[in-house]
Structure 1
Amino acid sequence: MLSNLADFFSSGSNLVFFAFALFIIGGAIFMISFTKVVHMVISMAFTFLSLGGLYILLEAEFVAFVQVLIYAGAISILMIFGIMLTNHQEQEEDEVKRPLHNTLLGLGVLALFGILFYAIQTSEFPAQTAVLSENNTMEIGMRIFTAHVIPFELMSVLLTVAFIGAIVVAKREED
């Protein structure tokens, strides 16, 4: 069982995958753990950037580019604008300390990790080969602008209407 683990960590791409996976999980945990909204947005952007790195590792450059451009860039900036346009009062929250709850939660997480680790290490995964396009970014572009041009344009109109609606709602709350 441990020989599988040694084989896994002997490859550089597996080490990079493991690092990106830890960054993604850590960013997601920080996002739900932080109490300040700006810190949540920063940790979410870190998670999106790490996910883009994982896509690059999987040789999906277009998806990685879209992940970084749309999610890490645009969605994070949109959230920061939302934070700036809304009214937030600073208030101290009294957090109830529950040491038994936290201890049981930690033990449950470790047990789940152990079960998943054992199940993955004892499983046999069949090798599958997929035929990839020579230049997947060009292939995606060709399909978007030929076969799927109508849904692509409808999506751009829908996003424009949603953006204008968000501006109208924000202006109404201000008045």
Structure 2
Amino acid sequence: MSGQFIFFMLFSVTAIGGAIMMLNMERIMYMIASAAVTFLSLAGIYVLLHAEFLAFVQILIYAGAITILMIFGIVLTKHEEKREEPKRRFYHISLFAGVVGLFAVFYYVINQSAFPAVTREIAQDQTKEIGLLIYSQYVIPFELVSILLTIALIGAIIIAKREGK
């Protein structure tokens, strides 16, 4: 077992655990912290896959901006306290057993699979390559996405002003 495999497994288990914790937490702030752990673990996986630019964007956009946006959304909105639900111990035990079983099946299948070797050379400066592709081959879709995002922003402002009256 190589160090890369160990770190991949560590990041994978952390990402899955953070996602499960986010779905099972009671308090919203704990959910956001669990989502941030998941985002950071995914960034670690991207680094292991030699996609440093994607890892940087993952940390900057998701772990940073989206998490802070969720916190502001929670702070600026009203919530009601939830009533205490009865504890479902059997549910949690069976859920944990199912997740461990699914993980074991994935682990077995991945270890038994033969993946073809990568035949393409990885670019040394990935950021430059992405920029060249966006502004040459994919310039039209890039501009269409920017127009779509601008229209969505204008629509959100109009809806927010209408509800404020």
TM-score norm. by structure 1 comes to 0.78
Question: Paired residue for 2:155?
Answer: 165
* CA displacement at 1:45 relative to structure 2: 1.9
* CA displacement at 1:151 relative to structure 2: 2.0
* 2:118 pairs with 1:129: yes
Correspondences of 1:55-74 after superposition (within 5 Å): 55-74=46-65
Question: Paired residue for 1:139?
Answer: 129
Contact 1:31 1:40 in 2 (8 A): yes
CA-to-partner distance for each residue in 1:60-99, whole Å, 9 max, x for gaps? Answer: 112112212222222222222322332212x242212223
**In structure 1, which of residues 150, 156, 165 is the aligned counterpart of residue 146 of structure 2?**
156
Q: Distance in 2 between matches of 1:79 and 1:86?
A: 11
Contact 1:49 1:67 in 2 (8 A): yes
Contact 1:85 1:170 in 2 (8 A): no
Q: Distance in 2 between matches of 1:169 and 1:22?
A: 41
**Structure 1 residues not aligned, in runs of 5+:** 1-7
Secondary structure at the residue paired with 1:95?
coil
Quick one: which amino acid aligns to residue 56 of structure 1? V
CA-to-partner distance for each residue in 1:92-130, whole Å, 9 max, x for gaps? Answer: 422122233333333333333343344344x14144123
Q: CA 1:86 to 1:70, structure 2 compared with 1: closer, same or farther past 3 Å?
A: same
Q: CA 1:155 to 1:81, structure 2 compared with 1: closer, same or farther past 3 Å?
A: farther
Q: CA 1:49 to 1:168, structure 2 compared with 1: closer, same or farther past 3 Å?
A: farther
Q: Distance in 2 between matches of 1:78 and 1:161?
A: 20
Question: Paired residue for 1:22?
Answer: 13
| Count of aligned positions | 164
Q: CA 1:65 to 1:111, structure 2 compared with 1: closer, same or farther past 3 Å?
A: closer
* CA displacement at 1:142 relative to structure 2: 0.5
Secondary structure at the residue paired with 2:26?
coil
Contact 1:48 1:72 in 2 (8 A): yes
TM-score norm. by structure 2 comes to 0.82
Q: Distance in 2 between matches of 1:111 and 1:26?
A: 14
Question: Paired residue for 1:3?
Answer: none
Secondary structure at the residue paired with 2:23?
helix
Correspondences of 1:43-54 after superposition (within 5 Å): 43-54=34-45
Quick one: which amino acid aligns to residue 87 of structure 1? K
Q: Distance in 2 between matches of 1:165 and 1:80?
A: 23
* 2:102 pairs with 1:102: no
Report % sequence identity. Answer: 49
Q: Distance in 2 between matches of 1:166 and 1:66?
A: 24
